[in-house]
């Protein structure tokens, strides 16, 4: 079994390092050019839309709820341990490459979320469903590949990744409070039952409360640390830029020089913000908006928050601690590096930082699990599952959360990583083939904005989509709903 696990890990590592990373970065650049830098020229628009996105029609989820569901999945323990690992292996320069791939990933996130909106369908519970499986079938006419994607997502996000997150919580609880894994498993199961079994609406309401709170409190701590060490910040930024381009061998991580810095920064950035993996569009499709581009811009903002803000907060917290806490290539557990840095900066012997990091790890990890449940449910629905199948999925997820707190299952995690790599490749190929729909929607949005329309309204027939997408929700009837939605705002 160990040999089989190593073989699967080797295959996954080869795909991720030699194929996947180049597809993600390369097509991210293509989408940036095709949209004329939508992630930069519409950054202010995205912020404005996000601020005013809490209201909905009451039928599907609000735009803000869809945003927080996606952000819940994005902002996880990878923003803590993942960033620490990138700095250990790749040196301070890895942080710069995380920023670069995040900017490209914003264009990818915009494209996949806009397409999820264009090809979404109204479900029996009046909540929209959509995502890669849906736009692969409805846009490319391939039910087979849609099913393949949905199966890969349900396996990884529905069963395995919740185990990873609960295991992280169990390790943190045991380290900080001496709580046994069994106690953690019982607590997590008791919390999950009344939330997950209620379905999409309840999960969305919970993430709407948790995600802003955890992000704001974590970023506030980082701002305090930066303010206290403001005189050291120029030196840290210098280390980041010198390390990124191999100008100082002492800042190049463990091995491989500048290539290791680029590779590790890019990989951690891509796998932290999840742009292109095909998970975020599932949540984006649930939003009730007047134009697909609106949610595309808001979801792209999630990539910005995840990497440019939250990952940077962790990075600066560690780098500002200096050699007392951090040295490139050191053999310190990556999950403890951020906690050690926080203790160095603000603990003053009181021990409160251990409790704080325990809370942050719990919120980051558990909110991710809630986001996973939404994505998995949407794909179970695509596969033809009814209410019983949905309830069965949530029961299995709750069991997985409990089991994950008790033991590590290395083979399952390795298989999930391989499934994630394969579903990302499928999704990115679909995005490239369907790019004209996303670009067309953006041109329609820009055209209405230039005409002085503050809240553009999308009609599929106006941009020629009605001929290609049967039973599109973006009809004249939906346009009237959109007008009423705008009026309430």
Looking at residue 408, its pLDDT comes to 67
Determine the average pLDDT of the residues in 88-98: 80
What percent of the chain stands above pLDDT 70?
Answer: 85
Global pTM?
0.86
Of the given ranges (62-71, 180-189, 337-346, 470-479), which has the lowest mean pLDDT? 470-479
Sort residue 399 into left (φ over 0), alpha (ψ -120 to 50) or beta: alpha
- Which of 220, 253, 222 shows the shortest CA–CA distance to 239? 253
Tokens of 62: 């609000």
Query: Which pLDDT band, with edges at 50, 70 and 90, does 474 fall under?
Result: confident
Distance, CA of 234 to CA of 257 (rounded, Å): 23
Determine the average pLDDT of the residues in 458-487: 68
Q: With 60 as the cut, is the pLDDT of residue 332 above it? A: no
Highest mean pLDDT among 69-73, 254-258, 304-308, 409-413: 304-308
pLDDT in tens, 413-472: 677 777 778 888 999 999 999 999 999 999 999 988 888 887 888 877 777 776 677 667
Distance, CA of 259 to CA of 256 (rounded, Å): 6
Q: Are 48 and 116 in contact (CB under 8 A)?
A: no
Highest mean pLDDT among 128-137, 247-256, 412-421: 128-137
Looking at residue 30, its pLDDT comes to 95
Highest mean pLDDT among 68-72, 108-112, 214-218, 269-273: 108-112
Looking at residue 37, its pLDDT comes to 92
* Residue with more model confidence, 472 or 476: 472
Looking at residue 109, its pLDDT comes to 92
Residues 6+ away with beta carbon under 8 Å from 146: 132, 133, 134, 136, 137, 382
Looking at residue 261, its pLDDT comes to 64
Determine the average pLDDT of the residues in 312-325: 84
Q: HSE (CB half, 13 Å, CA atoms) of 90? A: 30
pLDDT in tens, 428-438: 999 999 999 99
Looking at residue 5, its pLDDT comes to 72
User: What's the whole-number average pLDDT of the chain?
Assistant: 81
Residue in this structure with the two tokens 């900066």, named with its chain if needed:
345
* Residue with more model confidence, 113 or 241: 113
- For residue 469, what is the DSSP state? S
Q: Which CATH class is domain 2-488?
A: mainly alpha
Tokens of 441: 């929607």
Query: Which pLDDT band, with edges at 50, 70 and 90, does 211 fall under?
Result: confident
DSSP assignment of 333-394 equals -HHHHHHHHHHHHHTTTS-HHHHHHHHHHHHHHHHHHHHHHHHHHHHHHHTT--HHHHHHHH
Q: What is the CA angle 431-127-372, rounded to 5? A: 60
Q: With 70 as the cut, is the pLDDT of residue 252 above it? A: no
């Amino acid at each position: 079994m160990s040999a089989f696990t190593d073989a699967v890990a080797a295959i996954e590592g080869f795909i991720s390092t030699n194929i996947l990373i180049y597809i993600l970065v390369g097509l991210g650049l293509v989408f940036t050019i095709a949209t004329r830098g939508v992630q930069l020229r519409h950054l202010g628009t995205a912020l404005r839309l996000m601020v005013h996105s809490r209201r909905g029609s009451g039928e599907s989820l609000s735009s803000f709820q869809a945003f927080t569901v996606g952000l819940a999945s994005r902002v996880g323990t990878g923003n803590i341990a993942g960033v620490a690992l990138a700095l250990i292996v790749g040196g301070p320069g890895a942080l710069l490459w995380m920023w670069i791939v995040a900017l490209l990933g914003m264009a990818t996130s915009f494209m996949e979320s806009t397409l999820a909106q264009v090809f979404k369908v109204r479900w029996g519970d009046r909540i929209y469903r959509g995502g890669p499986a849906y736009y692969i079938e409805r846009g490319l006419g391939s039910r087979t590949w849609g099913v393949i994607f949905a199966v890969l997502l349900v396996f990884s996000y529905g069963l395995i990744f919740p185990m990873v997150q609960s295991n992280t919580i169990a390790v943190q609880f045991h380290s900080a409070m001496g709580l046994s894994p069994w106690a953690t498993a019982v607590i997590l199961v008791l919390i999950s039952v009344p939330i997950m079994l209620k379905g999409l609406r309840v999960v969305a309401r919970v993430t709407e409360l948790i995600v802003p709170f955890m992000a704001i409190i974590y970023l506030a701590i980082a701002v305090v640390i930066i303010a206290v060490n403001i005189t050291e910040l120029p030196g840290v930024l210098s280390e980041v830029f010198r390390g990124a381009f191999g100008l100082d061998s002492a800042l190049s991580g463990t091995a491989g020089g500048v290539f290791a810095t680029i590779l590790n920064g890019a990989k951690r950035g891509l796998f932290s913000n999840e742009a292109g993996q095909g998970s975020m569009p599932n949540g984006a499709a649930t939003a009730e908006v007047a134009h697909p581009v609106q949610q595309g811009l808001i979801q792209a903002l999630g990539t910005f928050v995840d990497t440019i803000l939250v990952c940077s907060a962790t990075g600066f917290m560690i780098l500002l601690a200096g050699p007392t806490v951090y040295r490139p290539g050191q053999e310190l557990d990556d999950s403890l590096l951020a906690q050690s840095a926080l203790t160095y900066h603000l603990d003053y012997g009181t021990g409160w930082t251990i409790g704080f990091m325990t809370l942050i790890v719990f919120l980051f990890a558990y909110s991710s699990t809630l986001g996973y449940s939404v994505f998995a449910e949407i794909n179970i629905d695509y596969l033809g599952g009814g209410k019983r199948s949905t309830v069965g999925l949530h029961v299995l997820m709750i069991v997985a959360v409990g089991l994950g707190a008790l033991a590590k299952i290395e083979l399952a995690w390795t298989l999930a990583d391989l499934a994630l790599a394969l579903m990302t490749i499928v999704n990115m190929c679909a995005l490239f083939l369907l790019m004209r729909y996303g670009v067309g929607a953006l041109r329609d949005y820009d055209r209405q904005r230039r005409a002085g329309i503050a809240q553009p309204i999308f009609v599929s027939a106006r941009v020629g989509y009605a001929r290609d997408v049967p039973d599109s929700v973006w009809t004249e009837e939906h346009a009237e709903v959109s007008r009423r939605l705008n009026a309430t705002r």
